[in-house]
Structure 1
């Protein structure tokens, strides 16, 4: 199936087709299900292997690791193309993560609805790092926000004056809870993974995780049970479309 989609912030249409599975002996239903399990729940590759074995599917954790590395970002990119147009109020925050015992910083931006706009792993939290993240956001989203909300880190103010001086900047710790709360799923995964081994691996995992995991996390407290089931059914249908699968894996 080929879907004609509008990229947020751009007027042109782009075609989005499921990735090619040529050369893979396992069906797409198994591949996409393993990728979904790994990015949706705090599971290791070995735990995903065990869950698939319970379903009667024999696949090694190394194969699952390769699938997640190859298809995780492709699925995430397709979900990003399907998401609604971002809001005009952006909340930015940075939080430290440990990579091989060293402090590194995860920069994150969300809109007023809590949708993750982008993430970036960097070694610093200075003006140059903030400027790089601002420029990455503007280029990736293709739009300029009405308001940017940050904490009181001075790097934000300095980068804001240089990159987007015409945009209103609100700097207050109490106003930025939305961005701070969006770090919680990442903290959960960081504990499950027992930390990250390299900056590159952290960036690759979190870039895919930040699109796939929220897709399956609607704001359940705002929905009735029936509404939640309907919403999740729709989201699973979208997942099937972007992965090219036709149903649950063998043994489900």
Structure 2
């Protein structure tokens, strides 16, 4: 967590900034929709200002929520969906457990074995309880070709279910050969078993429609971080914050940033 006040030098009140960010990441709204909604509340704020708030605070929200997430189970369902960036398609890799809890996500410009490998490394890093080991695995995300021998990973998946994409078996085989994944991990390529994650894609896809795509990879990555973490909060993945408890969810986000709810 940053030691600097997150809202220092901001012209608007922190509570109003968080309200705009939270609404944009939770509901299917455009920046211009939010501009009009704030005007109804007597706040004149340009849609480009709201955009800058989302770009600044969406990644910070995800970062601050990470240590408060419930642990997912060991049955992974992995799939990728399409995201339009600058009139071209990129690929959002996502994983949920057998209860529908979001495990991890990764935006990639390519859909191949190396992208799948980066995603699995990131997913494994999110399940590692040892801080030092998590840092080691995270470094491998940026350099998947330089895999080191990583052992004793806790909370490794028991089974990973994917579709018929040929990149997944290759990525899994490479990770097992490098000692990152245990040999006991079972890979299943059964499409109907992935219905759960395919349904879960809908929440993210619904949010991306009002903006009609992204204009840069960095913008997409930051915004998707916010979409995903708000989806986790909505599904009740935060410890002591239940699914459907909207008021507690709002209070939780405010307290994360030191703002009175």
Category of TM-score, reference length = shorter chain? 0.7 to 0.9
Query: Which residue among 186, 190, 214 is the counterpart of 1:168?
Result: 186
Map of 1:117 onto structure 2: 103
SS at match of 1:192: coil
SS at match of 1:43: coil
Which range moves more in the overlay, 183-192 or 140-149? 140-149
Map of 1:52 onto structure 2: 38
1:149–1:85 CA distance, 2 compared to 1 (3 A):
same
Map of 1:245 onto structure 2: 259
Query: Which residue among 244, 247, 250 is the counterpart of 1:236?
Result: 250
Number of aligned residues: 225
Deviation at 1:41, TM superposition (A): 0.9
Map of 1:127 onto structure 2: 113
CA distance in 2, matches of 1:16, 1:116: 25
Q: Give deviations 1:214-244, integer Å, cap 9, x for gaps.
A: 413559xxxxxxx976x22322221221122
Map of 2:8 onto structure 1: 22
Q: Please say if 1:207 is aligned against 2:225.
A: yes
CA distance in 2, matches of 1:88, 1:74: 27
Deviation at 1:210, TM superposition (A): 0.4
Any gaps of 5 or more consecutive residues in structure 1?
A: 1-14, 220-226, 248-252
Deviation at 1:183, TM superposition (A): 0.9
Any gaps of 5 or more consecutive residues in structure 2?
A: 129-154, 176-180
- What is the TM-score of this pair, normalised by structure 1? 0.81
Q: Please say if 1:190 is aligned against 2:176.
A: no
- What is the TM-score of this pair, normalised by structure 2? 0.78
Q: Give deviations 1:167-213, integer Å, cap 9, x for gaps.
A: 12121001111111111012212221111222222222112210023
Counting only pairs closer than 5 Å after superposition, residues 32-181 of structure 1 correspond to structure 2 as 32-142=18-128, 143-163=155-175, 164=181, 165-181=183-199
Give me the CA root mean square deviation.
2.3
